């Protein structure tokens, strides 16, 4: 603000006539931006509020008017056998998926620093491909591959391979692997190499340098990658619906089935609990990052938001 | 100091770079395996299957025919509808996102963080839940359709099950993917450029067109691509908000593969979709970059 003021004090007399007119419209334009922002935020949050609100409705039909505040649909949802099974399945799939994707993604990001241009280029192409090819195409292609290869293997060896937890986890890991890889690589490229060099100069072994220097600096990206992977898997419908077997159906699949038959207050209660889980994770992630950055003695904490929008 | 440091790094660098090859291989192997088995292999299988014929009980029987592609091109209504929806959806997202991204980028630091956090929260929550919520909002009982019926006195206003409902769902679902890259480019923009433009007598519109827009272009392209791709293959939104009546490419693929069990037909459609997408995106990036000396717009 100060620099233009100096210019203005010199040139004010010679300013073109259009300037004051622009200023006259200024408050109006600013007002428009403000109103636009409010409406967009309302648009973004309205659906979430509606679902949460109607989870607490005591009415027996979801589309009925507000009949009073009640927790009873949460009780009903938690007593529901199908909800219990699918919820358990969601965790059985999301946790191993997040662990594998984070480990493999981080390892690959570290490994790719040490390989030649060609290997790195091949990885870039593959990562792009997992982004450019629509999710539904990969899901169906994966299903066809599993079905064909299981048929063949079962015929040859007389075994009974079928769709289940492993197939869902394997398919989820593919997507999350790319995500973790991108996050950790972004962090690596922004890292201050002098610390690593200083550590080597001070006769630290490569392993010790990794544990004491590289890993703490990568931790925010790794934590974010883990939580994003968990949430992706926990919320995913498209891939899961095609590569899951009869016993490995997850909570989103249950919700989709309910939605097709007609939303009930129970649907909203289940959805609200799912929202609570993912929100809690976002919070945990933020707490871990704050704690880590305080321990590392950095001035400003890295936020989950910064990590996610960094891409 | 200056003479010691380069010597030291020169000594330690090659040792690090060469590294034990085994360790590098172990680090990269799991990811490479995953890409090979769960990305490359399925796509190769789909490519091979696209030239086959449907087996008697459904599935794939080996052959080499081009019929599947001929049919995919002849019966391209779902593809054309998807393309229309994705193009209008992308434009819609852009119109909503650009003023918002500009608004956030010009706020004070603290305020910016809060506004971005408020964008990340809905994006972080389940896509499925946020989509089905529109059933309640647009529905005839308590929602918009009911409200419009009451206001206009019309007998029946139907929003759900129409392309309009699908369009609302598409824009709503993918809006954050447009806002984030736009915000990042606008946030990094040198504010003095705008001041300079105004000092040189440019009006608000001229400044926007000649300064802000070119600066925001990389973000605009990235955002458009990030939004366009999932919209082309969208399956959940037309199923839920379109009642399956707005028949998009995703729905056609699912019908081919799972209901008709005509894997070669579905495969040909999938290959066709992938090729058209790659060509469209490459063409778009080329179009935006033409006449620019530096290629500062890439796919991601």
Q: How far apart are CA A176 and CA A100, in angstroms?
A: 9
Give me the residues of A, 16-45, that contact B with CB < 8 A.
Answer: 16, 18-19, 21-22, 25, 29, 32-34, 36-37, 40-41, 43-45
Q: Which residues lie closer than 8 Å to A310 by C-beta, 6 or more apart?
A: A183, A186
Bridge partners, B53 (sequence order): B61
Backbone φ and ψ of B61, nearest 5°: -125, 135
Query: Has residue B151 been placed in a domain?
Result: yes
Backbone φ and ψ of A264, nearest 5°: -115, 165
Whether residue A145 and residue B195 make contact (CB cut-off 8 A), yes or no, is no
Q: What pLDDT, on a 0 to 100 scale, did the predictor assign at position A17? A: 45
Backbone φ and ψ of A49, nearest 5°: -65, -40
Query: Has residue B52 been placed in a domain?
Result: no
Q: How far apart are CA A22 and CA A25, in angstroms?
A: 5
Whether residue A65 and residue B17 make contact (CB cut-off 8 A), yes or no, is no
Residue B203, domain CATH: 1.10.3720.10
Q: Along the 300 residues of chain B, how does pLDDT read in single tens digits?
A: 344 444 444 444 444 445 568 888 899 999 999 999 999 999 999 999 999 999 888 888 888 888 899 988 888 899 999 999 999 999 999 999 999 999 999 888 888 888 988 888 888 889 999 999 999 888 887 778 777 877 877 777 788 889 999 999 999 999 999 999 999 899 888 888 888 888 888 888 888 888 888 888 888 998 999 999 999 999 999 999 999 888 999 999 999 999 999 999 999 999 999 999 889 888 888 888 776 655 455 444
Q: What pLDDT, on a 0 to 100 scale, did the predictor assign at position A265? A: 87
The domain segmentation of chain A, as residue ranges, is: 17-55, 78-309
Query: Has residue B67 been placed in a domain?
Result: no
For chain B, how many structural domains are there in total? 1
Query: Has residue B65 been placed in a domain?
Result: no
Q: How far apart are CA A302 and CA B158, in angstroms?
A: 47
User: Closest by alpha carbon to A172, among A111, A252, A107, A112?
Assistant: A252
Whether residue B128 and residue A119 make contact (CB cut-off 8 A), yes or no, is no
Query: Has residue B26 been placed in a domain?
Result: no
DSSP chain B: -TTHHHHHHHHHHHHHHH--HHHHHHHHHHHHHHHIIIIIHHHHHHHHHTTSEE-TTSBEE----SHHHHHHHHT-HHHHHHHHHHHHHHHHHHHHHHHHHHHHHTS-HHHHHHHHHHHHHHHHS-HHHHHHHHHHHHSSSSSHHHHHHHHH--S----TTSHHHHHHHHHHHHHHHHHHHHHHHHHHS-HHHHHHHHHTT--HHHHIIIIIHHHHHHHHHHHHHHHHHHHHT--HHHHHTSTTTS--HHHHHHIIIIIS-BHHHHHHHHHHHHHHHHHHHHHHHHHHHTT-SS------
Backbone φ and ψ of A302, nearest 5°: -85, 130
Superfamily of segment(s) A78-309: MetI-like (1.10.3720.10)
Confidence band, pLDDT 50/70/90 cuts, at residue A307: low
CA distance B291 to chain A (A): 26
Query: Has residue B270 been placed in a domain?
Result: yes
Query: Has residue B49 been placed in a domain?
Result: no
Query: Has residue B8 been placed in a domain?
Result: no
More confident residue, B182 or A65: B182
The rounded radius of gyration (Å) of the Cα atoms in chain A is 26
Give me the residues of A, 79-138, that contact B with CB < 8 A.
Answer: 103-105, 107-108, 110-112, 114-115, 119, 123, 126, 128-138
Give the predicted TM-score (pTM) of the model. Answer: 0.85
CB pairs under 8 A between A and B: 265
> What is the torsional sign of CA B110, B116, B119, B124?
negative
């Amino acid at each position: 603000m100060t620099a233009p003021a100096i210019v203005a004090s010199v040139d004010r007399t010679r300013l073109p006539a259009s300037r004051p007119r622009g200023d006259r419209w200024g408050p109006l334009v600013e007002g428009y931006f403000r109103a636009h922002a409010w409406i967009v935020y309302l648009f973004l949050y309205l659906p979430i509020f509606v679902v949460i609100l109607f989870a607490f409705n005591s009415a027996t039909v979801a589309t009925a008017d507000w009949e009073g505040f009640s927790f009873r649909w949460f009780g009903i949802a938690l007593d529901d056998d199908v909800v219990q099974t699918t919820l358990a399945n969601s965790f059985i799939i999301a946790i191993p998926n997040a662990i594998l994707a984070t480990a493999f993604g981080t390892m690959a990001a570290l490994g790719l620093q040490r390989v030649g241009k060609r290997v790195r280029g091949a990885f870039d192409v593959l990562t792009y491909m997992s982004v450019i090819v629509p999710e539904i195409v990969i899901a169906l292609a994966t299903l066809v591959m599993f079905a064909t290869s299981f048929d063949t293997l079962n015929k040859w060896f007389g075994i009974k391979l079928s769709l289940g937890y492993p197939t869902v986890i394997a398919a989820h890991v593919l997507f999350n692997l790319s995500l973790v890889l991108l996050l950790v690589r972004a962090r690596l490229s922004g890292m201050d190499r002098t610390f690593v060099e200083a550590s080597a100069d001070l006769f630290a072994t490569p392993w010790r340098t990794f544990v004491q220097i590289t890993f703490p600096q990568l931790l925010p990206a790794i934590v974010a990658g883990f939580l994003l992977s968990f949430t992706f898997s926990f919320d995913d419908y498209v891939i899961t619906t095609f590569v899951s077997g009869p016993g490995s159906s997850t909570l989103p699949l249950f919700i989709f089935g309910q939605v097709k038959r007609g939303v009930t207050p129970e649907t909203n209660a289940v959805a609200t609990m799912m929202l609570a889980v993912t929100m809690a994770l976002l919070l945990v992630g933020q707490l871990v990052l704050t704690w880590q950055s305080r321990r590392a003695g950095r001035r400003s904490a890295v936020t989950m938001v910064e990590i996610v929008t960094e891409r | 100091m200056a003479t010691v440091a380069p010597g030291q790094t020169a000594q330690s660098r090659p040792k690090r770079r060469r590294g034990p090859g085994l360790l590098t291989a172990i680090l990269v192997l799991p990811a490479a395996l995953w890409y090979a088995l769960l990305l490359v292999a399925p796509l190769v299988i789909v490519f091979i299957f696209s030239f086959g014929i449907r087996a008697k009980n459904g599935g794939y029987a080996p052959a080499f025919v081009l019929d599947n592609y001929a049919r995919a091109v002849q019966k391209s209504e779902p593809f054309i509808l998807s393309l229309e929806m994705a193009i209008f959806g992308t434009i819609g997202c852009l119109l909503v996102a650009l003023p918002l991204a500009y608004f956030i980028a010009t706020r004070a630091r603290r305020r910016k963080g809060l506004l971005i956090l408020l964008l990340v929260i809905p994006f972080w929550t389940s896509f499925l839940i946020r989509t089905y919520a529109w059933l309640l909002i647009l529905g005839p009982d308590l929602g918009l359709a009911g409200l419009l019926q009451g206001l206009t006195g019309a007998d029946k206003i139907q929003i759900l099950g129409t392309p309009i409902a699908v369009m609302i769902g598409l824009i709503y679902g993918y809006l954050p993917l447009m806002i984030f890259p736009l915000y990042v480019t606008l946030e990094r923009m040198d504010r003095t450029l705008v001041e300079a433009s105004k000092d040189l007598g440019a009006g608000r519109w001229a400044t926007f067109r000649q300064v802000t827009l070119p600066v925001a272009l990389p973000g605009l392209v990235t955002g458009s691509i990030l939004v366009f791709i999932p919209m082309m293959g969208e399956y959940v939104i037309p199923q839920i908000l379109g009642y399956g009546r707005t028949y998009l490419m995703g729905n056609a693929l699912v019908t081919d593969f799972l209901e008709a069990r005509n894997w070669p037909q579905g495969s040909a459609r999938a290959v066709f979709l992938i090729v058209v997408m790659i060509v469209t995106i490459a063409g778009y990036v080329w179009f935006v970059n033409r006449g620019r000396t530096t290629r500062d717009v890439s796919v991601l």
